Structure 1
């Protein structure tokens, strides 16, 4: 029977035992065979520690010798951000319960073949990176010892391209269709009061352009081609612009955007990217609300940093909270799911700041963007 949770993991084998198990693989033809394969192959012991890795895996990890990965668990080898959250390491935090790799490994440890998808966030050389992996785990017996052959295929580029295409065309076609409908009404007849539709048309047009720019910036950000242009910005002015911009957006649905407790501080940052991150927070807050609700924007000074906040009364369920910053994760549809991921990517990689949230059933949800007062290049 399969275990109910991947977080139950036995103790680790000693380095001496791991080295002995590695020598078993080196002394067989398995090594030569696995080294010819283009996919990443790891051999794991019953404690899910790496006792062998082929050259494709060693190269992907940026290492030069297989010995550098021996004894680690897969998430630790891949620098998963959740691998260090629990003293037990990879597979023991609450985030690991839904991990496709952990579930596949559990299945293989118990004697069957397991496979799945793994959306993994890792930090490599202090750089945040999202990976989409296809994993397969198969039990293998050598002598009297049981092992697991764990294969990993990186499909990040393919999934990124597909999700970008779906999201781009879904959002752009919806916006363009709305504009087309409004224009047709204006052309066919101009009844009394029809001028009230012009602001709506203007707002839809701005949203269309903004959506195209957002997709272009995210593509550039993931390929490290995005250029940062710093300037001195007023925090209160930045929030005021966003307040006016989104007050007339289709997402507002009769909601009010309030400017509350907004400190006015001059900061050196990329205005465009800061607006992009905060704009995504505001859009998410509006989409979670109902007519008559309000979204509160704020900013406070925290020593050498400033902290922007976007608050609404909706609560984010705990299981959603655990995956909210993953690429392609969305509670809305398969054609969504890059907004929160782009917040994290743009903030950490380009604004040198921090993004996060707090959600409580009674207090609601507050997303925050913490930025240094002075942006340091590099």
Structure 2
């Protein structure tokens, strides 16, 4: 198919020929000064041509791309070299899908190409390596360069994953957990001053809830870190769908976020059993429920949890009637992305996808439109297969 017939939602679909790629590669490869400059950059550095294809790179880039053979890297675009999960979404490849409209790397390249000036963008890229998803967080710098009467872009990145992880932990531990601990302190002080038995019992109940919330927040962060490091242990047991949904209802019907909200749990007509880690599944589904509760700001809004199954999978669904804007839909599940303005949020959906798909062998999907509202689904196999 001709380049011009290819569809794109963002950047141009055209590609250079193999002959043009080799010509540009030799242009840089045979110039020792260019080679020395590239190797002098401590982070990933590549030079891309007018069609965003790689024509030169340093050793750090080859290391990050997990590609040692030059011929396998030349001609690829950045997302293709990283094996971005969206790079094959469109026939025209990296830079042409709807997801690319929100990609920091794609936006930086397009801006520099259009305006002929350098720019800096944060970029979150989800890559698939050997069947597992990896989450890159980069600070991208694009610089226009003119060489031998041709225009190129120098694309360099700094890995900011550790910085983003630190910001997230600061948000969680210095804000969320501090708030919960402060609430516990406040309740304890009130409890020492109350003589009425009914009020005392109510405060004790609130104190227990706040203490459990604090413990769960700390455990959740521990498990997330272990999951990222590949060290999370799963405790697989036989679970009843109805018993599990009863536990979900018990946890969230009196949750602070559920106040003045219509939280409905629908039970299946038949009680089915499946194999899973109950704690991890409850926490993952709980993240989806809390997101739905936070998104619902009116008393008439309905948040519904329901389940169904077939002979292979059991499905747990969380519904609310709000619609997620498309630009946000395109970025969900990315590490550190959040619809909240507060810096450091955004681990909820990321952790759900990481734990459900890599440890519980399930799948997380969603649909959000005017006709259906928003439905997040966790799909869990009936029979757990550790392989």
Looking at structure 2, the residues matched to 139 and 6 of structure 1 have their Cα atoms a distance apart, in angstroms, of 23
User: Aligned pair in 2 of structure 1 residues 299, 6: CA closer, same or farther (>3 Å)?
Assistant: closer
Corresponding residue for 1:253?
Answer: 259
Looking at structure 2, the residues matched to 193 and 269 of structure 1 have their Cα atoms a distance apart, in angstroms, of 40
Corresponding residue for 2:4?
Answer: none
Corresponding residue for 2:185?
Answer: 180
Cα distance per residue 1:68-94 (max 9 Å; x no partner): 211011111111112111122111111
The partner residue of 2:62 within 58, 64, 68 is 58
Correspondence list, 1:77-226, <5 A? 77-110=81-114, 111-191=116-196, 193-194=198-199, 195-226=201-232
Corresponding residue for 2:313?
Answer: 305
Contact 2:13 2:92 in 1 (8 A): no
Looking at structure 1, the residues matched to 301 and 104 of structure 2 have their Cα atoms a distance apart, in angstroms, of 38
Looking at structure 1, the residues matched to 335 and 13 of structure 2 have their Cα atoms a distance apart, in angstroms, of 31
Corresponding residue for 1:26?
Answer: 29
CA shift, 1:345, in A, is 0.7
Contact 1:53 1:66 in 2 (8 A): no
Corresponding residue for 1:280?
Answer: 287
After TM superposition, the score normalised by the length of structure 1 is 0.94
Contact 1:104 1:136 in 2 (8 A): yes
Looking at structure 2, the residues matched to 247 and 11 of structure 1 have their Cα atoms a distance apart, in angstroms, of 54
Corresponding residue for 2:386?
Answer: 377
Looking at structure 1, the residues matched to 25 and 9 of structure 2 have their Cα atoms a distance apart, in angstroms, of 25
Corresponding residue for 2:324?
Answer: 316
Looking at structure 2, the residues matched to 264 and 122 of structure 1 have their Cα atoms a distance apart, in angstroms, of 38
The number of aligned residues is 374
CA shift, 1:113, in A, is 1.0
Corresponding residue for 2:247?
Answer: 241
Contact 2:361 2:380 in 1 (8 A): yes
CA shift, 1:293, in A, is 4.2
SS at match of 1:264: coil
CA shift, 1:52, in A, is 1.1
Once the two structures are overlaid, the 10-residue window that deviates more, 197-206 or 14-23, is 197-206
Give the ranges of 4+ consecutive aligned residues of structure 1 lying more than 6 Å apart after TM superposition.
none
Gaps of 5+ in 1: none
Looking at structure 1, the residues matched to 294 and 188 of structure 2 have their Cα atoms a distance apart, in angstroms, of 25
Contact 1:204 1:249 in 2 (8 A): no
Corresponding residue for 2:3?
Answer: none
Once the two structures are overlaid, the 10-residue window that deviates more, 317-326 or 271-280, is 317-326
After TM superposition, the score normalised by the length of structure 2 is 0.92
Looking at structure 2, the residues matched to 268 and 231 of structure 1 have their Cα atoms a distance apart, in angstroms, of 5
CA shift, 1:47, in A, is 0.5
Looking at structure 2, the residues matched to 108 and 296 of structure 1 have their Cα atoms a distance apart, in angstroms, of 46
CA shift, 1:192, in A, is 6.1
Corresponding residue for 2:5?
Answer: none
Cα distance per residue 1:261-320 (max 9 Å; x no partner): 425211111112111111111111222224464422211113311111111222222222
Looking at structure 2, the residues matched to 357 and 319 of structure 1 have their Cα atoms a distance apart, in angstroms, of 14
Looking at structure 1, the residues matched to 320 and 173 of structure 2 have their Cα atoms a distance apart, in angstroms, of 27
